[in-house]
Amino acid sequence: MGEEKRELYNSIVEAVRSCRACPLHRLRTNAVPGEGNLEAKVMFVGEAPGRSEDEQGRPFVGAAGQLLNELLLRAGLRRENVYITNVVKCRPPNNRTPTEEEVAACVGFLRQEIALVRPKVIVALGNTAGSTIMGLAGRQWRGVTAERGRKAKVTVEGVEVIVVPTYHPAAALYRPDLKELLADDIAEAAREASAQGTRRTLLDFMGG
Ligand code: URA
Protein backbone atom coordinates (compact mmCIF):
# COMPACT_ATOMS: atom_id res chain seq x y z
CA MET A 1 0.00 0.00 0.00
CA GLY A 2 1.22 3.47 -0.85
CA GLU A 3 2.88 5.45 1.90
CA GLU A 4 0.86 8.42 0.66
CA LYS A 5 -2.42 6.64 1.30
CA ARG A 6 -1.40 5.85 4.88
CA GLU A 7 -0.39 9.48 5.42
CA LEU A 8 -3.70 10.72 4.06
CA TYR A 9 -5.51 8.31 6.37
CA ASN A 10 -3.47 9.53 9.35
CA SER A 11 -4.38 13.10 8.50
CA ILE A 12 -8.11 12.21 8.43
CA VAL A 13 -7.74 10.51 11.84
CA GLU A 14 -6.02 13.60 13.22
CA ALA A 15 -8.74 15.87 11.83
CA VAL A 16 -11.48 13.69 13.34
CA ARG A 17 -9.78 13.71 16.74
CA SER A 18 -9.40 17.48 16.80
CA CYS A 19 -12.79 18.29 15.21
CA ARG A 20 -15.03 20.85 16.94
CA ALA A 21 -17.48 21.39 14.11
CA CYS A 22 -20.56 20.45 16.14
CA PRO A 23 -21.54 20.39 19.82
CA LEU A 24 -20.98 16.62 20.15
CA HIS A 25 -17.25 17.24 20.60
CA ARG A 26 -17.92 18.65 24.08
CA LEU A 27 -19.44 15.36 25.25
CA ARG A 28 -16.91 12.93 23.87
CA THR A 29 -14.32 10.87 25.71
CA ASN A 30 -12.82 9.96 22.34
CA ALA A 31 -13.72 10.75 18.77
CA VAL A 32 -14.03 7.56 16.72
CA PRO A 33 -12.36 7.61 13.30
CA GLY A 34 -12.94 4.77 10.85
CA GLU A 35 -10.42 1.95 10.81
CA GLY A 36 -9.42 -1.11 8.86
CA ASN A 37 -7.83 -2.08 5.62
CA LEU A 38 -7.21 0.92 3.37
CA GLU A 39 -7.35 -1.44 0.37
CA ALA A 40 -10.65 -2.99 1.49
CA LYS A 41 -13.22 -3.92 -1.13
CA VAL A 42 -15.99 -3.74 1.44
CA MET A 43 -16.69 -0.72 3.66
CA PHE A 44 -19.19 -0.90 6.52
CA VAL A 45 -20.82 2.35 7.59
CA GLY A 46 -22.73 2.65 10.87
CA GLU A 47 -24.51 5.57 12.48
CA ALA A 48 -22.41 6.93 15.34
CA PRO A 49 -20.30 5.62 18.24
CA GLY A 50 -22.00 4.16 21.30
CA ARG A 51 -20.66 4.05 24.85
CA SER A 52 -17.92 1.41 24.30
CA GLU A 53 -16.77 3.10 21.11
CA ASP A 54 -16.58 6.47 22.86
CA GLU A 55 -14.53 4.88 25.65
CA GLN A 56 -12.11 3.10 23.32
CA GLY A 57 -12.01 5.48 20.36
CA ARG A 58 -12.71 2.62 17.94
CA PRO A 59 -15.81 1.80 15.87
CA PHE A 60 -18.05 -1.19 16.57
CA VAL A 61 -16.29 -2.60 19.63
CA GLY A 62 -19.40 -2.95 21.84
CA ALA A 63 -22.30 -5.41 21.64
CA ALA A 64 -23.29 -4.37 18.10
CA GLY A 65 -19.64 -4.77 17.09
CA GLN A 66 -19.52 -8.30 18.50
CA LEU A 67 -22.50 -9.19 16.36
CA LEU A 68 -20.92 -7.53 13.33
CA ASN A 69 -17.71 -9.54 13.89
CA GLU A 70 -19.70 -12.77 14.10
CA LEU A 71 -21.56 -12.01 10.85
CA LEU A 72 -18.35 -10.98 9.08
CA LEU A 73 -16.84 -14.37 9.92
CA ARG A 74 -19.99 -16.16 8.75
CA ALA A 75 -19.63 -14.34 5.42
CA GLY A 76 -15.96 -15.31 5.14
CA LEU A 77 -14.78 -11.76 5.82
CA ARG A 78 -12.34 -10.70 8.50
CA ARG A 79 -12.28 -7.39 10.28
CA GLU A 80 -8.66 -6.86 9.18
CA ASN A 81 -9.73 -7.06 5.54
CA VAL A 82 -12.62 -4.61 5.64
CA TYR A 83 -12.95 -0.93 6.54
CA ILE A 84 -15.40 0.07 9.26
CA THR A 85 -16.61 3.58 10.00
CA ASN A 86 -19.60 5.68 11.04
CA VAL A 87 -21.44 8.66 9.57
CA VAL A 88 -20.91 10.65 12.79
CA LYS A 89 -17.64 10.29 14.66
CA CYS A 90 -18.65 11.43 18.16
CA ARG A 91 -21.21 9.77 20.43
CA PRO A 92 -24.62 11.46 20.61
CA PRO A 93 -26.00 11.65 24.17
CA ASN A 94 -27.87 8.48 25.17
CA ASN A 95 -27.15 7.08 21.71
CA ARG A 96 -29.89 9.20 20.17
CA THR A 97 -30.03 9.45 16.38
CA PRO A 98 -27.66 12.18 15.15
CA THR A 99 -29.38 15.37 14.00
CA GLU A 100 -29.22 16.60 10.41
CA GLU A 101 -26.84 19.33 11.55
CA GLU A 102 -24.51 16.81 13.19
CA VAL A 103 -24.53 14.65 10.08
CA ALA A 104 -23.85 17.70 7.88
CA ALA A 105 -20.96 18.77 10.13
CA CYS A 106 -19.36 15.30 10.03
CA VAL A 107 -20.12 13.89 6.58
CA GLY A 108 -16.98 15.40 5.05
CA PHE A 109 -14.93 12.78 6.91
CA LEU A 110 -16.99 9.93 5.46
CA ARG A 111 -16.58 11.43 1.99
CA GLN A 112 -12.82 11.56 2.49
CA GLU A 113 -12.78 7.96 3.71
CA ILE A 114 -14.72 6.76 0.65
CA ALA A 115 -12.43 8.71 -1.70
CA LEU A 116 -9.38 7.23 0.05
CA VAL A 117 -10.39 3.57 0.31
CA ARG A 118 -12.39 3.43 -2.94
CA PRO A 119 -14.37 0.35 -1.90
CA LYS A 120 -16.31 -1.80 -4.37
CA VAL A 121 -19.17 -2.32 -1.94
CA ILE A 122 -20.54 -0.17 0.87
CA VAL A 123 -22.76 -1.87 3.44
CA ALA A 124 -25.01 0.83 4.89
CA LEU A 125 -25.95 -0.27 8.40
CA GLY A 126 -29.31 1.29 9.27
CA ASN A 127 -31.24 4.39 8.35
CA THR A 128 -28.69 7.10 9.07
CA ALA A 129 -25.99 5.36 7.02
CA GLY A 130 -28.40 4.52 4.20
CA SER A 131 -29.90 7.98 3.89
CA THR A 132 -26.49 9.68 4.13
CA ILE A 133 -24.76 7.51 1.52
CA MET A 134 -27.67 7.54 -0.91
CA GLY A 135 -27.88 11.30 -0.37
CA LEU A 136 -24.21 11.64 -1.34
CA ALA A 137 -25.03 9.64 -4.46
CA GLY A 138 -27.99 11.93 -5.28
CA ARG A 139 -30.43 9.07 -4.81
CA GLN A 140 -33.71 8.83 -2.96
CA TRP A 141 -33.99 7.02 0.36
CA ARG A 142 -37.32 5.69 1.56
CA GLY A 143 -36.26 4.21 4.88
CA VAL A 144 -34.38 1.05 5.76
CA THR A 145 -37.44 -1.23 5.75
CA ALA A 146 -38.25 -0.25 2.16
CA GLU A 147 -34.66 -0.16 0.90
CA ARG A 148 -33.25 -3.29 2.57
CA GLY A 149 -32.58 -6.00 -0.02
CA ARG A 150 -32.37 -3.47 -2.88
CA LYS A 151 -28.71 -3.02 -3.64
CA ALA A 152 -27.87 -0.06 -5.85
CA LYS A 153 -24.96 0.75 -8.14
CA VAL A 154 -24.14 4.40 -7.52
CA THR A 155 -21.28 6.88 -7.72
CA VAL A 156 -20.06 8.51 -4.52
CA GLU A 157 -17.06 10.84 -4.52
CA GLY A 158 -16.30 9.70 -8.06
CA VAL A 159 -16.16 6.08 -6.90
CA GLU A 160 -18.53 3.55 -8.47
CA VAL A 161 -19.83 1.38 -5.65
CA ILE A 162 -22.58 -1.07 -4.93
CA VAL A 163 -24.51 0.07 -1.88
CA VAL A 164 -26.07 -2.72 0.16
CA PRO A 165 -28.64 -1.15 2.49
CA THR A 166 -29.39 -3.24 5.54
CA TYR A 167 -30.39 -3.18 9.19
CA HIS A 168 -28.18 -1.85 11.93
CA PRO A 169 -26.58 -4.62 14.03
CA ALA A 170 -27.97 -2.96 17.19
CA ALA A 171 -31.48 -3.49 15.79
CA ALA A 172 -30.63 -7.12 15.04
CA LEU A 173 -29.23 -7.84 18.53
CA TYR A 174 -32.62 -8.77 19.96
CA ARG A 175 -34.43 -9.65 16.74
CA PRO A 176 -33.36 -13.05 15.32
CA ASP A 177 -35.38 -12.37 12.14
CA LEU A 178 -33.43 -9.17 11.46
CA LYS A 179 -30.17 -10.90 12.36
CA GLU A 180 -30.68 -13.46 9.59
CA LEU A 181 -31.51 -10.73 7.04
CA LEU A 182 -28.42 -8.79 8.11
CA ALA A 183 -26.34 -11.98 7.79
CA ASP A 184 -27.73 -12.55 4.28
CA ASP A 185 -26.91 -8.97 3.26
CA ILE A 186 -23.34 -9.16 4.56
CA ALA A 187 -22.85 -12.45 2.72
CA GLU A 188 -24.22 -10.80 -0.44
CA ALA A 189 -21.81 -7.89 0.00
CA ALA A 190 -18.92 -10.36 0.29
CA ARG A 191 -20.03 -12.13 -2.90
CA GLU A 192 -20.38 -8.83 -4.78
CA ALA A 193 -16.92 -7.73 -3.68
CA SER A 194 -15.23 -10.92 -4.85
CA ALA A 195 -17.14 -10.86 -8.15
CA GLN A 196 -16.02 -7.25 -8.70
CA GLY A 197 -12.44 -8.21 -7.88
CA THR A 198 -12.51 -11.03 -10.42
CA ARG A 199 -13.90 -8.81 -13.16
CA ARG A 200 -11.23 -6.22 -12.55
CA THR A 201 -8.45 -8.79 -12.60
CA LEU A 202 -9.72 -10.23 -15.86
CA LEU A 203 -9.95 -6.77 -17.44
CA ASP A 204 -6.45 -5.96 -16.22
CA PHE A 205 -5.23 -9.21 -17.78
CA MET A 206 -6.87 -8.24 -21.08
CA GLY A 207 -5.32 -4.81 -20.89
CA GLY A 208 -8.74 -3.20 -20.34
N1 URA B 1 -23.30 1.64 16.50
C2 URA B 1 -22.84 2.34 15.45
O3 URA B 1 -23.58 2.82 14.61
N4 URA B 1 -21.53 2.50 15.35
C5 URA B 1 -20.68 2.00 16.22
O6 URA B 1 -19.49 2.21 16.04
C7 URA B 1 -21.19 1.24 17.29
C8 URA B 1 -22.50 1.08 17.41
C-alpha 106 to ligand 1 mean position (Å) = 15
Please, which residues have CB within 8 angstroms of residue 154's CB and are 6 or more apart in sequence?
A: 134, 137, 138, 139, 160, 161, 162, 163
Environment class of residue 83 by beta-carbon count within 10 Å: exposed (0-12), middle (13-18) or buried (19+)? Answer: buried
Query: Does the Cβ of 60 fall within 6 Å of ligand 1?
Result: yes
Could you read off the pLDDT of 44-81 as tens digits, one per residue?
Answer: 999 999 999 999 999 999 999 999 999 999 999 999 99
Given a cut of 50, whether residue 208 has pLDDT beyond it is: no
Sheet of 159-166, strands arranged across = 35-36, 83-86, 42-46, 121-125, 159-166, 152-156
Give residue limits of the domains in the chain: 2-198
**Which atom of ligand 1 approaches the CA of 60 most closely?**
6
Query: Does the Cβ of 34 fall within 6 Å of ligand 1?
Result: no
CATH for 2-198? 3.40.470.10
pLDDT-derived band at 202 (thresholds 50, 70, 90) equals low
What ranges make up the beta strands (E) of 30-181? 35-36, 42-46, 83-86, 121-125, 152-156, 159-166
Chain centroid to Cα 23, Å, comes to 23
CA angle 203, 206, 208 (to 5 degrees): 55
State residue 130's pLDDT score.
Answer: 98
Could you read off the pLDDT of 71-115 as tens digits, one per residue?
Answer: 999 999 999 999 999 999 999 999 999 999 999 999 999 999 999
pLDDT-derived band at 159 (thresholds 50, 70, 90) equals very high
